[in-house]
Structure 1
Amino acid sequence: MPFELELPEIFNAADYFVDRNVREGRGAKTAIRCGTNQFSYSDVQAGVNRFGNSLKSLGVRMEERIALLMLDTELFPQAFFGSIKMGAIPICLNTLMRPKDYEYFLNDSRARVLVIDAHLLPSIEPIRKKLKFLHHVIVVNGDAPAGDLQINTLWAGQSEQLDCAETKPDDACFWLYSSGSTGLPKGTVHLHRDMVYSCETYGKQVLGVKEGDICFSAAKLFFAYGLGNGLYFPFSVGATAVYMPDRPTPEAVFQTIKENKPTLFFGVPTLYASMLEAEGSLTGVRLCVSAGEALPADILKRWKERFSVDILDGIGSTELVHIFISNYPNEIHPGSTGRLVPGHEAKIVDEQMEEVPQGEVGTLLVKSGSAAAYYWNKREKTQQTMLGPWLNTGDKFFMDEQGLFFYAGRTDDMLKVGGIWLSPIEVEACIIAHPAVLECAVVAATDPENLVKPKAYIVLKSGHQPSDDLANDIKQHVKSTLAPYKYPRWIEFIDELPKTATGKIKRFKLRIPGDDEE
């Protein structure tokens, strides 16, 4: 569905998401809740301005990169928008990585400044001498080692007034690094217009986010899904964001919901499955959202039965900044990813880039006004993925006669069994419907004749023990539900599935057991 975003020639995203709320009379409105603390839009604006002025005092210039290795606290949006407002480019870094990963991120991006939570400093210490371009380290939420800067000291005395840099809608605004599941992570360069486009399409036309909403995202701010959920969606309408810096265990999530009564809750399928096994309620929540992996129909069904709240399943990507296909309120199709989000176009193609017939599986291409401009220093990858106005998602889909999209897995995850393509997602959804199964992953394995067959790695619910009888019962469950060739020939029970920080299953690690490399 066509959608034209009209922005002025001079446009700065920090002005739109922060200053505009104050100009329009929401200065006293609560923008952020974090623990027992609350911060108004005026408080956030003051922090944004002090942070931007602090960067200027360090000699940071327009378009220089500022790496953010930060937990979800009120300081994240101040550093993020403070960088943007003075013309620099923040880079949101995954807080769960290893020192060698940070060496790559910081050297690849040539970040001049690193803003880091104090307790994450041990991840940086081993690589300090290898960082070729880093000039300053700003420590937040704790003491700074000798030679580093502590945020409170740095911005003490800094003005709470700051003029926006004269950026344009098509200027680089922020970076997100891809997960790197198919090679080295790629610096994905987004523009000042991209967050606004996502707010005007998915945020307002699918979520229906409004000023009175309270948004809580268990998915963290450092990646694309969480950044929209917990920052620019609520800030686009003057709503309230709830931050939880701790790990999102079911218990911690339920406690945060109890204390803050969010109206919109954002999670991933793994978390929803775990929450179904824990005690808690969703008091105040009007709508839940899921992305990161396809949401199994059985989880959706049990969630609705228990909490009487819908989950909108959707798919997004780092390159497209957020969700571009989604189920809609009052139009939920279990097992389907849903329909196109307004402002997005899609087509499903074969290996020759020709559109496939309806119902056939192919690779999904998407056209969107929020698509990244390019990958930093990755010309070949940019050309392979960004095909003119179309972005190659690398996801396999098919579309039915109603125009609903169904996820079939990543291109590298598809199995060919007996000459027929098989989607691991379909088999996983079937296995998860078994009453003993908490979560699972299906990958390719080979039999003694070197023929490809599906293998399932299964995490059981509490109270169930691995056994040959249970494995056979699960196999029979799949045989009786799907075509016989789709059942897993082997089942391995494990305690935990390997996952990315975004909750996606690392199937490549299951295909190559013991491989710890990205």
Structure 2
Amino acid sequence: MTGNRNAALHFVDRHVDEGRGDKVAFREAAGQRRSLTYGALARRSDLVAGALARADIRPEERAACILLDQVEYPEIFWGALKAGVVPVALNTLLSTPIYDFILRDSRATCLFVSAELLDVVMPAARGVDSIRQVIVIGGAAPEGAIAYEDFLQGAKPGPTRVVSDDECAFWLYSSGSTGQPKGVRHVHGALKATADTYGAQVLGIREDDTVFSVAKIFFAYGLGNAMTFPMSVGATTVLFNGRPTPQVVTEILAQERPTIFCGVPTLYAATVHHLEKTGVPAGDLRLCISAGEALPGEIGNRWRDLWGVDILDGVGSTEMLHIFLSNRPGDVVYGTSGLPVPGYELRCVNEDGQEIVPGEVGELLVRGASAAEGYWNKRDKSRATFEGEWTRTGDKYEVTPEGRFVYCGRTDDMFKVSGIWVSPFEVEQALIAHPGVLEAAVVPQRDEDGLEKPKAFVVLKDGVDAAATVDALKDFVKARVGAWKYPRWVEVVPDLPKTATGKIQRFKLRESAPEKEHA
């Protein structure tokens, strides 16, 4: 294709050219009430590009972004793209040693950081030789850093760098649900690819929509929800920089009146429990979506009963940038991940690489234009994941005769009992269906004979008697999914280990489970 394919032209500047300069693109929730129009975003992102050039942050160098969801985030992200600098969107809930690892791994030359995060981030940043500039948003800058407004002061608007669709635009780091995070490199064309497929053909997002995503911008799912999709049509996004508790989320749904709500299964489950006690406020929801982990059907049904709106459960990944498999409006079957999103091809293969037939379980592979170009400095992992045009997801699925995909678990989470594959997710859904259970995770544990059997970790609802519930859960699961699949051990825990994006870290539960224990 000819011409400048810089994604910022399509997602930012185009709206000014088409007369939406005064339309609010972003507004902050929970009393802050700052907002940013498309016109202001175009001007401010130009200033960011100019300030980066003035600071000698050069094209293709990395700008680490450890930022809360606030109006400066889109200014910085799109300004970096305009300058040809590669923003690296980082999880805001990591520890200092992990930031040290990622900053060194990415070789970032500058760092944008929210003031609230300085105490955790700066001890890591000070030891990274590649970082030449630290810019602080929303507060005073410590010695050796500069405040964001001072960084922009006096900068000349920078020109938008001419790039192709295939030039690297930004990085994300995998959420680390199975170990050390990996740098995932995405190209300019991938952003529009997700908007043209899931955004347009599943969500059917419109200019008059208002979107609220509890998944933060640093997460691939949140980046699409909060920026790519609304900005593809000139819609408005509600940003919230705090922790999305059920009470806070309910208040935002009532006060900000979004039409599209983007959640994760853990939050949906907790919010359903909250609303069943407090009641449902008035709202304007027309669509709700979920990703990050498979949504238990029980939660989807209860949410629909409360709001009168289905949850469109879907599957995406950091490597594919957003959702490529989903239920869709008017065609929701809870307990399944739906059908391929238009523009993507999917197949499930067995251990020999042969496509499975209904009733079998295989690994899911996907092909589509939003695939990452690879992992940073992880050649073996890149070759194992990106096989030509196909990307291995690491998810195990069944395919029904009707062509719907049924999630079984991560490749590393599946295990056999009596020679038969057991899906942790299937057992977890059965556990969550019990009225006393809020959350559940299932992992294999070896019994006294050295054979693997399911062990369940459960979070109970407030006021539920633990002893009585644990005794009842085994028979409850037997009746729902089969005698051999029931958990031989049930441990009540206050919470489950999760990534910041809501994925249960089952590998941590496996590590905590002893090798042998009497049933």
**TM-score, normalised relative to structure 2:** 0.96
Match of 1:510 in 2: 509
Segment of structure 1 superposing worse, 424-433 or 120-129: 120-129
Does the aligned pair in 2 maintain the 1:415–1:423 contact within 8 Å?
A: yes
Partner of 1:91: 88
Counterpart residue identity of residue 185, structure 1: P
Gap regions ≥5 residues in structure 1: 1-6
Aligned match of 2:254 in 230, 241, 258?
Answer: 258
Q: Which runs of 5 or more structure 2 residues have no equivalent in the other structure? A: 515-519
Rounded Cα–Cα distance in structure 2 between residues aligned with 1:102 and 1:376: 16
CA distance in 1, matches of 2:22, 2:513: 53
SS where residue 402 of structure 1 aligns?
coil
Distance 1:26 1:113 in 2: 32
Separation in structure 2 between the aligned mates of residue 482 and residue 154 of structure 1, nearest angstrom: 59
1:338 paired residue number: 338
Provide the residue aligned with 1:33 in structure 2: 27
Asked if the contact 1:325–1:337 (Cα under 8 Å) also holds between the matched residues in 2, the reply is yes
Cα distance, 1:9 vs. partner?
Answer: 4.3
Contact 1:395 1:407 in 2 (8 A): yes
**Mapping 1:51-130, distance limit 5 Å:** 51-130=48-127
SS of match in other structure, 2:354: coil
Q: Match of 1:21, as an amino acid?
A: H
Measure how far apart 1:465 and its partner are.
Answer: 2.5
- The offset of 1:25, in angstroms, is 0.5
Aligned to 1:232: 228
**What are the superposed Cα offsets for residues 78-112 of structure 1, whole Å, 9 maximum, x if unpaired?**
00000001111000000000111111111111110
Inter-partner Cα distance in structure 2 for 1:60 and 1:233: 29
1:441 positional shift: 0.3
Which residue in 2 is equivalent to 1:491? 490
Q: After alignment, is 34-43 or 244-253 more displaced?
A: 34-43
Which residue identity is paired with 2:307? F
Q: Deviation of residue 258 (structure 1)?
A: 1.6
Does the aligned pair in 2 maintain the 1:93–1:222 contact within 8 Å?
Answer: yes
Percent identity over the alignment is 47
Distance 1:184 1:464 in 2: 36
SS at match of 2:466: coil
Matches of 2:112 and 2:155, distance apart in 1: 17
Of stretches 278-287 and 326-335 in structure 1, the one that deviates more from structure 2 is 278-287
From 191, 201, 222, the counterpart of 1:195: 191
Q: 1:3 aligns to what?
A: none
Asked if 1:20 corresponds to 2:19, the answer is no
Q: Aligned partner of 2:205: which letter?
A: V
Q: Within 5 A, what are the aligned runs for 1:370-409?
A: 370-409=370-409
Aligned AA (1:479): K
Q: Matched residues in 2 for 1:115 and 1:148: separation?
A: 10
Contact 2:48 / 2:158 at 8 angstroms: preserved in 1? no
Provide the residue aligned with 2:155 in structure 1.
158
Distance 1:79 1:55 in 2: 10
Q: What SS does structure 2 have at the residue aligned with 1:470?
A: helix
| Cα deviation code 1:464-504 (max 9, x no counterpart) | 1211x321211111111111101111100011011001100
Q: Does 1:352 align with 2:352?
A: yes
Q: What is the aligned length?
A: 507
Give 1:152 shift: 0.8
Note the alpha carbon deviations across 1:205-257, whole angstroms, 9 max, x for none.
00000100000001100110000000111000000000000111111111111
What does the per-residue CA deviation read over 1:324-356, in whole Å, with 9 as the maximum and x for residues that have no partner?
000000000010000000000011111121212
Give the letter for the 2:451 counterpart.
L
Match of 1:305 in 2: 305
In structure 1, C-alpha distance between the alignment counterparts of 2:140 and 2:259, rounded to whole Å: 35
Q: Which residue of 1 aligns with 2:423?
A: 423
User: In the alignment, what sits opposite 1:284?
Assistant: 284
Deviation digits for residues 176-200 of structure 1 (CA, Å, limit 9, x no counterpart): 0112233421111000000100000
Amino acid at match of 1:30: V
Task: Encode CA deviations 1:101-140: one digit per residue, 9 max, x unaligned.
Answer: 1111111111100000011111123334431311110000
Distance 2:50 2:489 in 1: 59
